[in-house]
Amino acid sequence: MAYENILYEKRDGIAFITFNRPKVLNALNRKTVEELQSALLDARDDASVRTLILTGAGEKSFVAGADIGELALQTPVSGKELSLFGQGVLHLLETMGKPSICAINGFALGGGCEVALACTIRLASKTARLGQPEVKLGLIPGYGGSQRLPRLCCKGIAHELCLTGEMIGAEEAQRIGLVNHIYEPPELLPAAEALAKKIIANAPLAAKYIMEAIERGVEMPQEEGLFLEATLFGLACATEDMREGTKAFLEKRPAQFKGK
């Protein structure tokens, strides 16, 4: 598929997805979300892809929100359908079994913040600004922000950000747990790639099970989450990667994982 609104590249086990509408600060319209879905499906089904990096084109913005012109035309029926479609794409990103790193290189507002929330790990440049400003338009978050934000940070933080619609800087985002690390702008993508390579060096099936244990377990009572962890631990014990990893450790050599 030829993409108009994103750049999609695969190299060294990493799928790079870059939102590429810099004239409108990479705002999300329906076509952009459709292209994101296509790229995610390709990355999910490509065994050579081990992790993803999402970022924005230009120096100002990751994704500055939704396309307001498109939003203004929504009806109750089309608005619900638009929200459900976007939620489905971000659910795919969150549950595809491959870690995703969001490199937030500027504004991450509204839908942009929601894309970041659906990623596994978030890195930010010092110039990043994050927020859920939908309330200023008479709207609420529609791509999962009202659900992922309180789970990631806390209910009080989510209420404050969504009810005021105010933006926060990278340092405050790190303080509340919204981003993991902050970098100078030129260092952001190299840091994301370095982190991706650390993940790729490990066993891919174990990584998949870790993500499943965390993503599903956090929604469960702890006792049920522990049972899920034990079940996935047992599955990991049945893999060739587990045999290779333990053997390599005992033989004091690097492991050669095959994802089997």
List active site positions: 114, 134
Q: Please return the burial class of 218, using the count of CB atoms within 10 Å of its CB with bins 0-12, 13-18 and 19+.
A: exposed
**Beta pairing, strands 51-56 & 107-109:** unpaired
Q: Please return the burial class of 39, using the count of CB atoms within 10 Å of its CB with bins 0-12, 13-18 and 19+.
A: buried
Q: Please return the burial class of 256, using the count of CB atoms within 10 Å of its CB with bins 0-12, 13-18 and 19+.
A: exposed
Q: Take residue 136 and report the two structure tokens written for it.
A: 């200023």
Q: Take residue 66 and report the two structure tokens written for it.
A: 């939704």
Closest Cα to residue 61, out of 129, 163, 11?
129
Q: Take residue 210 and report the two structure tokens written for it.
A: 């870790």
Gyration radius (Cα) of the chain, Å? 19
